[in-house]
Structure 1
Amino acid sequence: MSGSHPILSGSAASIAAYQQAITQSTQAVVDWLQQPEMYRGKTVAELRDSIQLHFNAEGLGNQAAIARAVALFLKDSLAVHHPQCVAHLHCPSLVISQAAEVLINATNQSMDSWDQSPSATIIEITLVEWLRGLVGYQPGDAGVFTSGGTQSNLMGLMLARDAFFARRGHSVQQQGLIGDLSKIKVLCSAQAHFSVQKNMALMGLGYQSVIAVKTDNVARMDVHDLAEKLAQATARGEQVMAIVATAGTTDAGAIDPLAEIAAMAAEHQIWLHVDAAWGGALLLSEQYRHYLDGLELADSVTLDFHKQFFQTISCGAFLLKDARHYDLMRYQAAYLNSDFDEAQGVPNLVSKSLQTTRRFDALKLWMGLEALGKKQYAAIIDNGIRLAQDVAQFITGCLDLELVMKPQLASVLFRVRPGQVPAADVALLNQQTADALLASGSANVGVTEVNGITCLKLTLLNPTVCLEDVEVLLASVVQTARQLLDQR
């Protein structure tokens, strides 16, 4: 082992091995970034045939292992920075975020106790305090970084559930769930993220606990139907433990009427959680911050930074309005967050997290904020929204394309609809068009369904993309659809 220097340490040999490995990997990335294609277009079967683990008695050594990773992984990776890669909420990353990953990975800090991550703990707490102010919460540090929206939503729903029982004099943490659980409900819009259902199932309440509220013609929660669903639940003897509002639905980018929903939640004394995994980026916007008015009224908030904050995966946060609710999930472990440490004022973030071992992902956002500053960060966020509006206007002037919904954030919903194609065949044509583009390696366009219409989706997060790039993509969409029609 000493001869190959596999462990990162302060020895001269280890440092030399580290520098060589990082240099080799960095050069491979530089070469890959300069490839013109978005994807090499390999199928599932081709990848399965080519990817085999080489684990032998002696080992290949760092250089050969890196070379194999470049060949098997990097060269066949999707280029999310490519202007034709627009299918998902999958952003290109900031250069500074890549630099942060080097520091995070090399130091390998674990955020589950202060003595494992002293400076990292203070940086994360400071950043949580700043994020709370950005949302409009009172000063405090009730919040934690998470792996992303699904985990943050789970935290919001779990604390909502436990607060619901605590108001009735029962501790879920100590005694578990009791009573007729089929009567406990959560309300969210029909366009809310699937993690609401997923998390309610994980918490033992099942999909049946989720009541979907109708949405309006631009995919926002209909507050009139929300009131009706609340009344219906009461009439059936059900109890609503939480309302989940969405600030940025996955497809339409719709932001529910937060202030109106918050007023209704307060009237009925129901926990309000806002999933702002995407739309939370508007907290930094100069033009669209008002879209989030009412966010400060939520009991808890989900934020994601690996979407339109342009951080590398993973990087998210959960914010809790009232710190006392953290007592609902508090657990003392002598080896992590002992009473003695807390009496001395030692911060231990493990009390605020569902995770124990946890990466120092907060550093990425910290460095991004400091590197870009207010104006540049606002500009790259606002660019996506303006571009979506310009693309929508362009689509309305295209003969074979149809705009399905007016953009709200940085996504555009549209479909190919040549006049000669029967209505019944349009859905299949759009699906096949997207599949053909990905198979060719030239573009990645999303496919979704909105109000029963199968459509294509452009998620325009990349601030280096301009209208001309999207026009090229749309031309490819139309051309591919026509070729598919010709083959029929």
Structure 2
Amino acid sequence: MRSHLLNDTTAEQYRRSVTEGVERVAAKIAATERPFTGVTVDALAPRIDGIDLDQPLYDTTAVLDELEEVYFRDAIYFHHPRYLAHLNCPVVIPAVLGEAVLSAVNSSLDTWDQSAGGTLIERKLIDWTTARIGLGPAADGVFTSGGTQSNLQALLLAREEAKPGRDGLEGPASLARLRIFASEVSHFSVKKSAKLLGLGEDAVVSVPVDTDKRMQTLALARELERCVTAGLIPMAVVATAGTTDFGSIDPLPEIAELCERYGTWMHVDAAYGCGLLASVRHRDRIDGIERADSVTVDYHKSFFQPVSSSAVLVRDAATLRHATYHAEYLNPRRMVQERIPNQVDKSLQTTRRFDALKLWMTLRTMGADGIGRLFDEVCDLAAEGWRLLAADPRFDVVVEPSLSTLVFRCIPAAVTDPAEIDRANLYARKALFASGDAVVAGTKVGARQYLKFTLLNPETTTDDIAAVLDLIAGHAEQYLGESLDRAS
């Protein structure tokens, strides 16, 4: 089956196959009328289970035909203006072109002798991002698989930096003294990272938020002081620039002041809010990020890049040594003296895709302002959506958005039981998903069920938002009507 290997003798076959695949996808995107077909697991699973992977089709066209049945037809299409659920963005064409290039060439970004120019392009993009943040001339970083990995690596560095000069902080038992501070609405990966890093179950201190879902700095100061008084070590504060549920941005300058006062590593999880780094009009919303020791960015959230495209950035390049291991077959120590740039020296991963190329293609085609304007559009759209919700007596909206997220719930006029309202909102979300007319997310605020719009598509309009709100209200009323019928 050498005819399927991509090389000089099969270049024309490669061109034909990829062109056919691209044409299928382009046709599907052009014809998509709803973000989802509403297919159920029970309906789709038998189609896939019935395929015998030991019986190949031996023909790319036949494989694409089959893929139409098991994937294309029922995929969830993020480009559709009524996909409003999670932090999934429509992707820009230059990045998709970059994806095609990097997959075919298949560079591995762990070492120079597997990537050459790819290494330098990634390093240039890291320098560009750290400059946008304002981390200073000693800054560095590396691309990662996503925000969870970036947060893990940042907290690994913070853990290791907490050790030097700390009396008695040696051995596994001493890890129980370390504490991480994050708001009560921070990303779950903070707690997950603490577990992976061998810290105690109570290592993450949850800091209360204000009515805008931003970390309360007075509460943070109180917790930091309590930590020190108890003989514990404040290892890191994780400030969030764009919480997953609310898009809220913690008060970064005030948090930076407290971190300096207590000698604590400041990490900013800007996986969502990093789009403001390119913003033409709203960059000031993340003022203070330049004072961080480390920053997480997800280009695949707010830079309109295909998954995956993320990075962890650090103020001091020397701290990346905590992720460095040398292997004779890969990156022996002598390469450091020879000034050979091996990105594996900075990374938790070894083999790693050239995901940086997608961002490179985007910047070289559109420019940073082009990306920033798109992100500004969705932030402005969220502000308009908030005004719609605030003026609509059918809905309760939680906070005015800092980015592009709206959290709300339907409040039917005839219902006063909070539990029944919860069930009506859960039903509305499921019914909407089953219809395929729109896709929205759900979350909890306190003990109550809420719905969520995550607006990352500049093609979405206020008319789309209003239409989806009407659908939600209709499904909620339908549930309540059926509930009354059952009760009678």
- Provide the secondary structure at the position in 2 that maps to 1:449: strand
- Conserved? CA contact 2:443–2:450, under 8 Å: yes
Q: Which residue of 1 aligns with 2:398?
A: 404
What is the CA–CA distance in structure 2 between the aligned matches of 1:179 and 1:171, rounded to whole Å? 9
Give 1:55 deviation, angstroms: 1.9
Q: Which residue of 1 aligns with 2:75?
A: 77
Q: Within 5 Å, give how 1:371-390 maps onto structure 2.
A: 371-390=365-384
Give 1:90's match in structure 2, choosing from 88, 91, 95.
88
Give 1:54 deviation, angstroms: 2.4
Q: Which residue of 2 aligns with 1:31?
A: 27
Q: CA RMSD in A?
A: 1.6
- Conserved? CA contact 1:337–1:348, under 8 Å: yes
The structure-2 alpha-carbon separation of the partners of 1:112 and 1:66, relative to structure 1 and needing over 3 Å to count, comes to: same
- Provide the secondary structure at the position in 1 that maps to 2:163: helix
- Provide the secondary structure at the position in 2 that maps to 1:306: helix
Give 2:252's match in structure 1, choosing from 251, 258, 278.
258
What is the CA–CA distance in structure 2 between the aligned matches of 1:57 and 1:224, rounded to whole Å? 64
**Alignment partner of 1:278 is 2:272:** yes
Give 1:170 deviation, angstroms: 8.6
Tell me which moved more, 465-474 or 338-347: 338-347
Q: Which residue of 1 aligns with 2:486?
A: none
- Conserved? CA contact 1:198–1:207, under 8 Å: no
> Deviations 1:237-275 (Å, cap 9, x if unpaired)?
222211111000001111111111111111111111110
- Provide the secondary structure at the position in 1 that maps to 2:28: helix
The structure-2 alpha-carbon separation of the partners of 1:169 and 1:7, relative to structure 1 and needing over 3 Å to count, comes to: farther
What is the CA–CA distance in structure 2 between the aligned matches of 1:82 and 1:206, rounded to whole Å? 44
- Provide the secondary structure at the position in 2 that maps to 1:256: coil
What is the CA–CA distance in structure 1 between the aligned matches of 2:127 and 2:168, rounded to whole Å? 31
The structure-2 alpha-carbon separation of the partners of 1:431 and 1:411, relative to structure 1 and needing over 3 Å to count, comes to: same
Tell me which moved more, 316-325 or 37-46: 37-46
Q: Which residue of 2 aligns with 1:233?
A: 227
Q: Which residue of 2 aligns with 1:16?
A: 12
Q: Which residue of 2 aligns with 1:67?
A: 65
Give 1:472 deviation, angstroms: 1.4
Letter matched to residue 321 of structure 1: R
What is the CA–CA distance in structure 2 between the aligned matches of 1:183 and 1:374, rounded to whole Å? 43
Q: Which residue of 2 aligns with 1:119?
A: 117
Q: Which residue of 1 aligns with 2:302?
A: 308
Q: Which residue of 2 aligns with 1:428?
A: 423
What is the CA–CA distance in structure 2 between the aligned matches of 1:404 and 1:261, rounded to whole Å? 24
Q: Which residue of 2 aligns with 1:459?
A: 454
What is the CA–CA distance in structure 1 between the aligned matches of 2:123 and 2:139, rounded to whole Å? 6
Identity of aligned pairs, percent? 37
Tell me which moved more, 61-70 or 357-366: 61-70
What is the CA–CA distance in structure 2 between the aligned matches of 1:181 and 1:17, rounded to whole Å? 56
> Deviations 1:59-78 (Å, cap 9, x if unpaired)?
53333223222321121110
> Deviations 1:303-330 (Å, cap 9, x if unpaired)?
0001111100000011011111122222
The structure-2 alpha-carbon separation of the partners of 1:178 and 1:386, relative to structure 1 and needing over 3 Å to count, comes to: same
Q: TM-score, normalised by structure 2?
A: 0.95
Listed as ranges, the gaps of 5+ residues in structure 2 are: 484-488
- Conserved? CA contact 1:197–1:206, under 8 Å: no
The count of corresponding residues between Structure 1 and Structure 2 is 480
What is the CA–CA distance in structure 2 between the aligned matches of 1:63 and 1:341, rounded to whole Å? 47
> Deviations 1:191-242 (Å, cap 9, x if unpaired)?
1100000111111114421110000001100000001111222233222211
Letter matched to residue 23 of structure 2: Q
Q: TM-score, normalised by structure 1?
A: 0.95
Q: Which residue of 2 aligns with 1:41?
A: 38
**Alignment partner of 1:292 is 2:286:** yes
**Alignment partner of 1:152 is 2:146:** no
Give 1:165 deviation, angstroms: 1.4
After the TM superposition, which segments of 4 or more aligned residues of structure 1 sit over 6 Å from their partners?
169-172
Letter matched to residue 332 of structure 1: H
- Conserved? CA contact 1:404–1:455, under 8 Å: no
Tell me which moved more, 444-453 or 382-391: 444-453
What is the CA–CA distance in structure 2 between the aligned matches of 1:62 and 1:15, rounded to whole Å? 15
Q: Which residue of 2 aligns with 1:138?
A: 136
Give 1:478 deviation, angstroms: 1.4
What is the CA–CA distance in structure 2 between the aligned matches of 1:298 and 1:445, rounded to whole Å? 33
What is the CA–CA distance in structure 1 between the aligned matches of 2:133 and 2:298, rounded to whole Å? 13
**Alignment partner of 1:203 is 2:193:** no
Give 1:438 deviation, angstroms: 0.3
- Conserved? CA contact 1:402–1:415, under 8 Å: yes
What is the CA–CA distance in structure 1 between the aligned matches of 2:169 and 2:359, rounded to whole Å? 36
> Deviations 1:343-366 (Å, cap 9, x if unpaired)?
222100001000000000111111
What is the CA–CA distance in structure 2 between the aligned matches of 1:220 and 1:50, rounded to whole Å? 46
Letter matched to residue 81 of structure 1: H
Q: Within 5 Å, give how 1:154-173 maps onto structure 2.
A: 154-168=152-166
Give 1:10 deviation, angstroms: 1.0
- Conserved? CA contact 2:34–2:82, under 8 Å: no
Give 1:376 deviation, angstroms: 2.1
Give 1:399 deviation, angstroms: 2.9
The structure-2 alpha-carbon separation of the partners of 1:448 and 1:57, relative to structure 1 and needing over 3 Å to count, comes to: closer
- Conserved? CA contact 2:102–2:354, under 8 Å: yes
What is the CA–CA distance in structure 2 between the aligned matches of 1:251 and 1:152, rounded to whole Å? 19
What is the CA–CA distance in structure 2 between the aligned matches of 1:169 and 1:372, rounded to whole Å? 52
Letter matched to residue 464 of structure 2: D
